[in-house]
Structure 1
Amino acid sequence: MSVVLNLSEDHRDCLQEVSNVAMGQAADKLARLLDTFVILSIPHIEVMKPSDIVMALHAVDVNDSISGVCQGFTGGGIAGEAILLFSDTSFTDLAKLMNYDDELDDQAERELLMDATNILFGACLNGIADQIDMEFSFGPPLVLGQHQKLSELFNVENARWDHALVTEINYQLEDYEVNCDILIVMTDDSIERLLLKLDYLLE
């Protein structure tokens, strides 16, 4: 029986708290760097199929043109993928906040996307790792696509998993048109090890 499908409410609550702390640390780092207030949602944790992710995020804004980056992570028997989805309307304000004065072409937006990825993924995933007494190593970040619809960015036919535990959080910058979603995706292969770590926190 799939471990991820049998996630208990205690485990879900514990993981939500771990994620909340880690993503709050990421928000704090971003806020200090950009000298602005970061608004973040409560982490949403759900067992999903690849098609569920598209539907869940479509509920945010089906008309958005977005750019996305993914980065794999692994350590101590846990592996997964972090995904950053960035609203294309965000680049102008993000460039302003990061004092980027050059022309805002696709390459410049790619650089800004990578900068945001490095800040958020590093702080968030290291925050999770610290709380469960692990250390993650990271693969190189990979641009999923730029200026695409969500359904184009996520080709569910290419998904390498049937079900996964997905933690989603939304970040917005107060008084600026900067909006992004982070997804942390963990599949069955990693969940059993993760649950053992959560059990230590629950005891």
Structure 2
Amino acid sequence: MPLLQINEDHRDALQEITNVAMGQAGDKLARLLDTFVVLSIPHIEVMKPSDIAMALHAIDSNQSVSGVCQGFIGGGIAGEAMLLFNDTSFADLAKLLDYKEHLDEQAERELLMDTTNVLFGACLQGISEQIDMDFSFGSPTVLGQHQKVSDIFDMANTKWESALVTEISYELEGYNVNCDLLIIMTADSLDLLFKKLDYLIA
């Protein structure tokens, strides 16, 4: 099966939409943590699951990470959002959230979910508003804790052969906190998504 393609007009339009949505999510995170959030330019490609671990910008593929995913669907567009946290981020994240308990795996999971809820909610809402679609969301699921990126993506490997992947990295200025947020849209969603983008471009 040939890999799907995205043309430059669609990529530019989606990048602009994602920039706005990610900016809103970054602003919410900055307010929550009372610190400056540095965002990368969205990187948009059609990928196979095996390509993703190599493509992550904020996280070295050999580093230990923890990940959360949340499915979304609405009006013929479906996909999932994934957040991968560098495991070195947890100590600083706990400080920023004024978390006083001992930082065991359960506490890290809570920090992961708190941050994920802020980023996923604001980002996916920002995208859905701009393309004029309502998304409904599944429950967030922890993909894994303290694993290599490639192991986390092995777990997701069976869900899709290729998809449109938008990746953006977040860093907190002055802290050792960095994460990669991925928005993965299924191949079946792309015809409708590209029609929406054509309408916005026109």
Q: TM (normalized to structure 2)?
A: 0.95
CA contact (8 A) 2:6 2:45 kept: no
Per-residue Cα deviation, 1:98-124 (whole angstroms, up to 9, x for no partner): 111011000000000000110000000
Cα displacement (A) at 1:63: 2.7
Equivalence map 1:76-95=2 (5 Å): 76-95=75-94
1:9 is aligned to 8
Q: Does residue 179 in structure 1 map to residue 178 in structure 2?
A: yes
The count of corresponding residues between Structure 1 and Structure 2 is: 202
Q: Is the 8 A contact 2:168 2:180 kept in 1?
A: yes
Residue 158 of structure 1: how far off its partner (Å): 3.4
Q: How does 1:96-111 map to 2 (within 5 A)?
A: 96-111=95-110
Q: Is the 8 A contact 1:51 1:156 kept in 2?
A: no
Q: State the SS of the aligned residue for 2:122.
A: helix
Equivalent residue, structure 2, for 1:197? 196
Aligned equivalents of 1:188, 1:24: Cα separation in 2: 26
Which ranges of structure 1 fall in alignment gaps of 5 or more residues?
none
One-letter amino acid matched to 1:123: A
| C-alpha distance 63-7 of structure 1, shift in aligned 2 (>3 A) | closer
Question: What residue is the counterpart of 1:71 in the other structure?
Answer: 70
Find the residue that maps to 2:56 and give its secondary structure: helix
Write the deviation string for residues 67-95 of structure 1: whole angstroms up to 9, x where unpaired: 00000001111110100000110001111
Q: Which runs of 4+ in 1 moved over 4 A?
A: none
Change in Cα spacing, 1:124 to 1:58, as seen in structure 2 (3 Å) is: closer
| TM-score normalised according to structure 1 size | 0.95
2:41 is aligned with 1:42: yes
Using the TM superposition, give the Cα deviation of residue 62 of structure 1 relative to its aligned residue in structure 2, in angstroms: 2.8
Q: Say whether the 8 Å CA contact 2:84–2:181 is kept in structure 1.
A: yes
Matched-pair contact (CA < 8 Å) for 1:58–1:150: no
